[in-house]
Amino acid sequence: MENRSKIAIIGSGFVGASTAFAMSLNQMVNEMVLIDVNKEKSIGEAMDISHGLSFLGQMSVYGGDYSDCSNCDAIIITAGCNRKPGETRIDLAKKNVTIAKEIVGNVMKYYTRGVILVVSNPVDILTYKISQWSGLPDGRVFGTGTVLDSSRFRFLLSRKFNVDVRNVHGYIIGEHGDSQLPLWSATHIAGKNITEFFNDPAYGITEEIKNAIIDDVKTSGGEIIRKKGATYYAIAVAINTILESLLKNQNTIRTVSSVIHNLYGIDDVALSLPSIVNANGVKAIFDLKLTGEEQKLLANSADQLKNVLEQIKDI
């Protein structure tokens, strides 16, 4: 069959299942396999989605195993543990790096082509390690990074300025975590730089309000978890937009996480920067001129991630 597309999703929890459901709604691929340590769960999720396909279109959706990772356009890793109360970021990193190492070993036994998209957290740490373990070319392994953070950023700005979110453009870069930062210098509404809005007294945007927006971006995921137990709808949509860029070879700019080599004074760490994404993964980092303050904050974010990598280097 010409133009046949196939995706594997590893992990059939909230994020994996929501991603698969969103993909079925969008009729994104011809074939989709769900893989989970609990195979019955993946089979059940696939059945549930399949039973609605008569209203959507023809797809093959099934629960499978690692041998089904062959001939995939993308292999999406969503499996991992959630952070528990009292658990440190390092504790979580150690657990999920150990899980990811086993997953990648199994995936690469059957890997023939395609990209590996990392969703599990800590996404930057896992992206870096999986890039190493897989041995795939640069850009072929990348993570969802701050794609969702950037979406939250745009949403909050659209609400503050009462404009259509599709006309708000801006990026959160660095770590998908506490050290992330906004690229105010590259943020605009319909071509008008955000600083013009900040300097307009009619909008009354103070430094406190700007900082509150960034705090909301950082903490909204945690707030959703406190209210409903987990976040999965928005990240599922974000994953779908990334997959569309891959499958249609769109060269879309997204703030995905990939291993950085000598950019902005940063080397040998995975973090998020505006990147051109196509069928082969990350084609290139989009060159933006950062302000001195943005470069300083980005360097700090890289240092935070390198500190975590140092503490788990023996895994």
Domain regions of the chain by residue span:
6-143, 147-311
Q: Is the peptide bond before 137 cis (omega within 30 degrees of 0)?
A: no
The tokens describing 195, both together, are 């600083």
Given this model, what pLDDT does residue 166 score?
A: 95
Helix axes of 147-161 and 207-228: crossing angle, nearest 10 degrees? 120
The per-residue DSSP string of 236-290 comes to: HHHHHHHHHHHHTT--EEE--EEEE-SBTTB-SEEEE--EEEETTEEEEE-----
Least confident segment among 200-204, 242-246, 254-258: 200-204
CB 75 within 8 A of CB 10: yes
Share of the chain above pLDDT 70, in %: 99
Closest CA relative to residue 68, chosen from 37, 115, 33, 43: 33
SS3 123: helix
> What distance in Å separates the CA atoms of residue 153 and residue 155, rounded to the nearest whole number?
5
CB 217 within 8 A of CB 152: yes
| Position with higher pLDDT, 175 vs 85 | 175
**What is the CATH number assigned to the segment(s) 6-143?**
3.40.50.720
Given this model, what pLDDT does residue 90 score?
A: 83
Select from 3.30.420.10, 3.40.50.1240, 3.50.50.60, 3.90.110.10 the CATH code of 147-311.
Answer: 3.90.110.10
Contacts of 198 (CB under 8 A, 6+ apart): 205, 210
Is it the case that residue 162 has pLDDT exceeding 70? yes
The tokens describing 109, both together, are 């036994």
Given this model, what pLDDT does residue 315 score?
A: 84
| Position with higher pLDDT, 234 vs 202 | 234
Given this model, what pLDDT does residue 165 score?
A: 96
Which residue's entry shows tokens 């080599």? 261
Please tell me if the domain spanning 6-143 has the same topology as the one spanning 147-311. Answer: no
Cite the active site residues.
Answer: 176
Q: What is the pLDDT of residues 110-155, one digit of tens each?
A: 999 999 999 999 999 999 999 999 999 999 999 999 999 999 999 9
